[in-house]
A and B are shown apart, each in its own frame.
Chain A
Amino acid sequence: MPDLLIELLSEEIPARMQARAAEDLKRLVTQGLVDAGLTYAGARAFATPRRLALTVAGLTAASATRREERKGPREGAPDAAIEGFARSAGVARDALELRDAGKARAWFAVTETPGRPAAAIVAEVLEATVRGFPWPKSMRWGTGSLRWVRPLHAILCLLSDEGGAQVVEMEIDGIKASDRTRGHRFMAPGAFSVTSFDDYRAKLRRAHVLLDAEERADHIWVDAHNAAFAQGLEVVEDRALLAEVAGLVEWPVVLMGSIAPEFLDLPPEVLQTSMREHQKFFSVRNPATGRIEKFVTVAARETADDGATILAGNAKVLAARLSDAKFFWQNDLRTVSKVGLEGMAEGLSRVTFHNKLGTQADRIARIAALAREIAPMVGADPDLAEQAARVAKADLQSEMVGEFPELQGLMGRYYAEAAGLPAEVAAACPEHYQPLGPSDSVPSAPVSVAVALADKLDTLTGFFWINERPTGSKDPFALRRAALGVIRLLVENRVRIPLFYRVFYDHETFHMVTAMLARQEASEKISAELIKRGVDPKSLESFTPSFTQVISSSKYGIGEEEAGMGSLLVFLHDRLKVHLRDQGIRHDVIDACLTMPNNDDLTLLVARAEALQGLLATEDGENLVQGFRRANNILTQAEARDGVEYSFGPDPKLAEGAEEVALFAALDAAEAAIGPAMEAEDFAAAMRAMAQLRAPIDAFFEAVQINTDNQIVRRNRLNLLHRIRTICLGVADLTRLEG
């Protein structure tokens, strides 16, 4: 049972690709070996900045001989047929055997594929793996045509057992496999031979290479923690950075340095971002003050001066970076104290947001107006919401955000605080961007919610208005993320906004006004549309964009605008479906609720879907749906056949038998309960009331035949079924449910 060792030595592999590449190497090689008829006991893969390695233990020494039999033509079949069979089976005509096959005898071809030694199979599998390796990005080099993530220099491929080690003979684009590798690029660059995985790993360690990324990460974390702890400090945890740094060094050496005192007053986010993004440093915090005072850098080697030169160099680079940051910070604070945050935002009127949607300043004016409009619906003070919207993006004009775009919003908060703005306004600066993705948190402070919603709704209505909608994998304006943001802001805060009726149309008008003002020339199409909406394009010159002014003069014309904003609602519904499916709500349950009235109120829509899902989880609910479906099917068939609609209320006097009478009573009771429950939007109660119908409906169908010969009774019963249909469909469109 030999063990297999493979190492692919290359120039530096990007840190972010290493873990995946090691897994791919393991998967592709082991799968190839198994497909070729070998088995193995276990496999492990490793990655360092310069190498991918794989060890496969307990590999079978050779694949088994494979015997294959194929049945051919009957005895006495034409010669041509028999010869054709022999050819296709790849055996000589003489080698065919005549054997019993049921009633008659037939020709059989027997082929034997001899087993192959593991080495031959490994060579084949490894070559195919290297040539077809799924790197996210790969390249050619020199004159060759082989692709690898960076130039591939050496292949180590070894089969070893008690008898010794044997190099697997193979060659890819001039690179011959051997039993040799190299150590650390600087500390032990010489080549050496290895005889097994254990030998390989041990010799690498002696040559200053830690093969296992986890071991490197642990080593970094423990050393960093200890260095900080010894001085009463703590390392700020950053797993992504740890994984990245472990992928940048084969021999990690942790060094801790100080941040010069003149930078300690910078906001901790600035220090952290600058150090992480530019230098890949860990931040070291003083737990007593919460301030970041030191940094940890991870060098790739040991040096005679114990890293003093390296640390001095790193500290110097950091100081240059931080003096930039400090310069920006001070300039920004000066700007804010001179002209305020709104003054800082002034330059945004010269920044185009999108050539059809005006400047950033136009956009902010729209967001501010919409935030004001939304404020009462989310329990926010309209003045504060508007003020927050006006300054929430001001920091885009700050020097700090110009340098570190990822600090947008966060810097806004600092500058808002410095300007003495209310806490709600300051908080809205970072929070109005949220949620940034499915796992990001959703703000709950009312002012932040108002601005966050207004921001995203302005983006969505704007891009839908100008017909820039996501298609397939293309979503250049991140509208899907904006839609999910709207959904989560509404639903998680239980906010009730009829989007279509209260936002889309009016805000679309606002976009038209901005466009008219920005272009300063009459676009006939827009101008005609504005006139239709009751806005006089000629009056726009003196028009101060104000949402209330737009909507007070704009007349909502349903139907005409469904094309644009209607498709935005459909888009939001699609995103809602995806979102709810992730929350475990069945897609057909969502469909059953989407078609109900007020479906532009997403919070209401979700409440209904949750109630319906709850109902379906009960036995009564499940059976009620069966009963509904039966009633609906019979009724639909009868209506189709008779060409009429059975919607004249059924007459209880025509009821025969206890079950039918009971159903009348149950429907009365359900209606009495469902009506007020729906009125109060208490879907759970409405569904409970509906579920009460299950027993009477079941009993009714058990006892009563609908299609009797007595046409009066039949009609009455169909009308009765119609009542079931109406009551149930008033709660949700149960016809959309599957199964």
Chain B
Amino acid sequence: MADAPLPPRSFQEVILRLQSYWAAQGCAILQPYDMEVGAGTFHPATTLRALGPKPWAVAYVQPSRRPTDGRYGDNPNRLQHYYQFQVLIKPSPPDLQELYLGSLAAIGIDPALHDIRFVEDDWESPTLGAWGLGWEVWCDGMEVSQFTYFQQVGGHDCRPVSGELTYGLERLAMYVLGVDHVMDMPFNDPDAPQPLRYGDIFHQTEREYSRWNFEIADTETLLRHFNDAEAECARILAADPTDGAGRIIPMAHPAYDQCIKASHIFNLLDARGVISVTERQAYIGRVRGLARQCADAFVATEAGGA
């Protein structure tokens, strides 16, 4: 970190710099998973690949949806659709903290001027049956990342342990770019022939989805879809691993897709306010059950180290 690079000028530049930085550290830069998820952790490249003994190092952007956080595009920081940048390295390297600080420097956060701290935050995902220890990383009092050493996923001990970094991209970029309202943030270069702001791209969708999430989404349909996804997951996992041609092909990933689906539908039902406190636990338990079975299936596959 000899010369501090010039600060980035747009949202996409923050993303591109993170990608180049982690590519330079040897990570494979994956693309987003093509399903609705609540966080980058749900990407099978994290959830499933954190299991088993095989080394792994990936980084990717993951569009994420949290229906309850929708604010019709009015709130300066809250969105029901946003982006996470996710890094997963297995086994966790001894200098992961330094590597992480290097990534902040790459997007223009000079540690000589800022107050960067690692504040305890034990991560737990009751829906994934996963937990780990780590921190939320603060920059000048703002949480800019989650830093976690995975201990368990889908009920399985992680051996070796993966190190996971999650950057909330909008918030981080707003800070780096000095923007107060997410919708005002330059998405591409402000001097581009067609400068686009975040709001040009997402303001209308935030309004539309907020209304749908909170008021319109049909709860009967959603409930049915939840049950369908659960049943399909079980059916996939129960299928004979030997196919008609005598090939042995267990289907951990297709089953896990159904788990992701169920999890997202649960989030939608939650946003519709039709899930009571006690029912909540039951739903979470059902999704966790799926995640657990998918993890069981995955560790019995080649990628899972079997």
Residues of A whose CB lies within 8 Å of any CB of B are 11-12, 14-16, 49, 137-143, 149-151, 153, 186, 248-249, 279-281, 297, 299-301, 303-305, 307, 309-310, 312-314, 316-318, 320, 323-324, 350-355
Contacts and interface: CB of A to CB of B under 8 A. Distances in A.
Contacts of B94: 142, 151, 153
A190 to B, nearest CB: 14
Interface stretch (B25-33, B132-140, B287-295): B132-140
A309 B140 contact: yes
Interface in B52-78: 75-77
Given A151-B149, A313-B140, A317-B142, A299 B93 contact: no
B161 A141 contact: yes
Contacts of B180: 316, 320
B244 interface: no
B194 interface: no
A404 to B, nearest CB: 16
Pick from B115, B119, B122, B133 the residue with the most CB of A within 10 Å: B115
6 contacts: A14-B120, A137-B122, A139-B132, A297-B141, A318-B141, A320-B76
A402 to B, nearest CB: 11
Contact of B91 (A143, A300, A350): A143
A14 B120 CA distance: 5
A328 to B, nearest CB: 11
Contacts of A313: 114-115, 139-142, 175
Contacts of B91: 141-143
B80 interface: no
A508 B75 CA distance: 46
Q: Interface of chain A, helix or strand or loop or mixed?
A: loop
A150 B142 contact: no
A109 B210 CA distance: 86
Given A142-B91, A143-B160, A318-B141, A352 B276 contact: yes
B279 A355 contact: yes
A300 B101 CA distance: 15
Given A352-B279, A355-B278, A355-B279, A304 B112 contact: yes
Interface string B100-129: 000000000001111111111010000000
A578 to B, nearest CB: 29
Contact of A304 (B113, B163, B279): B113
B97 interface: yes
B77 to A, nearest CB: 6
A396 to B, nearest CB: 12
Interface string B130-172: 0011110001111000000101000000011101000000000
B188 interface: no
A248 B279 contact: no
A141 B163 CA distance: 8
B219 interface: no
**Which 5 residue pairs spanning A and B have beta carbons closest together?**
A313-B140, A352-B276, A14-B120, A12-B118, A314-B141
B119 A248 contact: yes
Contacts of B92: 141-142, 151
B113 A139 contact: no
Given A142-B160, A351-B276, 12 more contacts: A12-B117, A139-B161, A141-B161, A142-B91, A280-B141, A300-B115, A305-B113, A310-B115, A313-B141, A320-B76, A353-B277, A355-B276
A49 B97 CA distance: 14
Given A249-B117, A323-B76, A350-B273, A12 B135 contact: yes
Contacts of B118: 11-12, 49
Contacts of B273: 350
Contacts of B278: 352, 354-355
B141 A279 contact: yes
Nearest to A307: B115
Nearest to B280: A352
B213 to A, nearest CB: 16
A312 B180 CA distance: 13
Given A139-B132, A150-B133, A314 B140 contact: yes
A309 B117 CA distance: 15
Interface of B: 75-77, 91-94, 97, 111-120, 122, 132-135, 139-142, 149, 151, 159-161, 163, 175, 180, 273, 276-279
Find the residue from B120, B122, B273 having the highest chain A CB count within 10 A. Answer: B120
A303 B116 CA distance: 12
A316 B273 CA distance: 32
A248 B117 contact: yes
Nearest to A347: B273
Contact of A303 (B113, B122, B132, B133): B113
A33 B142 CA distance: 45
B132 A299 contact: no
A347 to B, nearest CB: 9
B151 A15 contact: no
A309 B76 contact: no
Given A12-B135, A139-B133, A313-B142, A300 B161 contact: no
B113 A309 contact: yes
Contacts of A324: 75
A307 B91 CA distance: 37
Contacts of B161: 139-143
Contacts of A15: 120
B140 A310 contact: yes
Contacts of A312: 140
Of A142, A153, A350, A352, the most chain B CB neighbours within 10 A belong to A142
A186 B140 contact: no
A20 to B, nearest CB: 14
A14 B134 CA distance: 9
A652 to B, nearest CB: 69
Contacts of A317: 140-142
Contacts of B77: 320
B141 A186 contact: no
Contacts of A320: 76-77, 180
Contacts of A353: 277
B185 to A, nearest CB: 14
Nearest to B119: A248
B114 A309 contact: yes
B162 to A, nearest CB: 10
A16 B141 contact: no
A211 B163 CA distance: 29
A140 B117 CA distance: 22
Contacts of B140: 309-310, 312-314, 317
B193 to A, nearest CB: 31
B117 A300 contact: yes
Contacts of A299: 115
Contacts of A310: 113-115, 140-141
Given A309-B113, A317-B142, A137 B133 contact: yes
Nearest to A313: B140
Contacts of A138: 133
Nearest to B135: A12
B184 to A, nearest CB: 13
Nearest to B74: A327
Contacts of B142: 313-314, 316-317
Contacts of A143: 91, 160-161
A58 B161 CA distance: 41
B97 A11 contact: yes
A471 B7 CA distance: 58
A153 B160 CA distance: 17
Instruction: Name the residue in A137, A141, A249, A354 with the highest tally of chain B Cβ atoms < 10 Å from its Cβ.
Output: A141
Nearest to A11: B97
Contacts of A355: 276, 278-279
Contacts of B116: 186, 300
A353 B278 CA distance: 8
B9 to A, nearest CB: 19
Contacts of B175: 313, 316
Contacts of B133: 137-139, 149-150
A186 B112 contact: yes
Contacts of A352: 276-279
Nearest to B55: A143
